[in-house]
């Protein structure tokens, strides 16, 4: 039984071919395309308003050099939200429950922010490794600790997204299994459990959106330190 709970996180195969590539590329088909008309429909209008609000909020603490990342960060957030939301549908696969995929997003973007900081302002970038006013005997230790914390950042970024989505999917499956088991024996308890399942599903919808936002927000904070 415990093995079957984790089978949902295995990449689906068809004739031995992993289908995770299709699960990643398919969401792009669902996005509405911009219209050439002067007056758009309600869906595109709401989509444009939300993207503009998020972009303004995200780019507010950054200088003009960081605004070049607006398109990349906003596209990444919309992509992650779409994947996370589609993963809540029955009989679907959530690619963001795979740590390898999340690390594939986190490591290159984190490394890009570090390289930008080293190229544009190396003194400030290296200054983050040693806080001001540090006693001389603690300087080697603090440099080692800050360097380790710097390299742990992409790992924490990927693990945070993976752990939150994996825990939510496991809870939904566990409670759904409990509902089916309790329904013939204790219908009242099963109905109460189904109510909890419904509330948990609503919570997971919020978590799917919030975790995508947090992923991009933390990336923008890393970028803010280096531009």
Q: Identify whether 105 is part of a domain.
A: yes
Buried b (16+ CB within 10 A) or exposed e, 32-69: eeeeeeeeeeeebeebeeeeeebbeebbeebeeebeeb
Q: Is 135 exposed, middle or buried (0-12, 13-18, 19+ CB in 10 A)?
A: exposed
Number of domains in the chain: 1
CA dihedral 178, 181, 183, 189 (to 10 degrees): -40
- 3-class DSSP state for residue 13? strand
Q: Using an 8 Å Cβ cutoff, are 59 and 75 in contact?
A: no
Planar angle of CA 105, 109, 114, nearest 5 degrees: 150
pLDDT one-digit tens code per residue, 88-135 = 888 888 888 888 889 999 999 999 999 988 888 888 778 777 777 778
Q: Name the β-bridge partners of 13.
A: 18
Phi-psi region of 133 (alpha: psi -120 to 50; beta: other; left: phi over 0): left
Q: Identify whether 173 is part of a domain.
A: yes
pLDDT at position 34 = 67
Q: Identify whether 1 is part of a domain.
A: no
- Give the Cα separation of 212 and 82 in Å (integer): 9
Q: Identify whether 68 is part of a domain.
A: yes
Residue 1 has pLDDT above 50, yes or no: no
pTM across the whole model:
0.84
Q: Identify whether 2 is part of a domain.
A: no
Element (H, E) at 78: helix 70-86
pLDDT at position 22 = 78
Range of the domain at 64: 7-226
pLDDT one-digit tens code per residue, 26-81 = 787 777 776 677 777 787 788 888 888 888 888 888 888 788 888 899 989 989 99
CA 41 to chain centre: 29
């Amino acid at each position: 039984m415990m093995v079957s709970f984790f089978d949902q996180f295995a990449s689906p195969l068809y004739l031995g071919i992993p289908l995770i590539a299709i699960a990643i590329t398919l969401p792009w088909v669902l996005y509405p395309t911009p219209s050439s008309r002067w007056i758009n429909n309600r869906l595109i209008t709401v989509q444009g308003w939300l993207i503009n609000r998020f972009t303004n909020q995200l780019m507010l603490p950054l200088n003009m050099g960081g605004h070049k990342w607006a398109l990349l960060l906003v596209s990444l957030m919309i992509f992650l939200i779409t994947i996370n939301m589609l993963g809540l549908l029955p009989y679907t696969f959530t690619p963001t429950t795979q740590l390898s995929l999340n690390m594939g997003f986190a490591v290159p973007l984190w490394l890009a922010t570090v390289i930008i900081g080293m190229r544009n302002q190396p003194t400030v970038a290296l200054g983050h490794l040693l806080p001001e006013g540090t006693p001389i005997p603690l300087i080697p230790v603090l440099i080692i600790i800050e360097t380790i914390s710097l390299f742990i950042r992409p790992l924490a970024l990927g693990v945070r997204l993976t752990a939150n989505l994996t825990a939510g999917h496991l809870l939904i499956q566990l409670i759904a299994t409990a509902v089916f088991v309790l329904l013939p024996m204790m219908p009242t308890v099963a109905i109460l459990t189904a109510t909890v399942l419904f509330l948990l599903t609503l919570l997971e919808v919020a978590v799917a959106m919030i975790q995508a936002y947090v992923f991009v927000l933390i990336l923008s904070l890393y970028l803010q330190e280096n531009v």
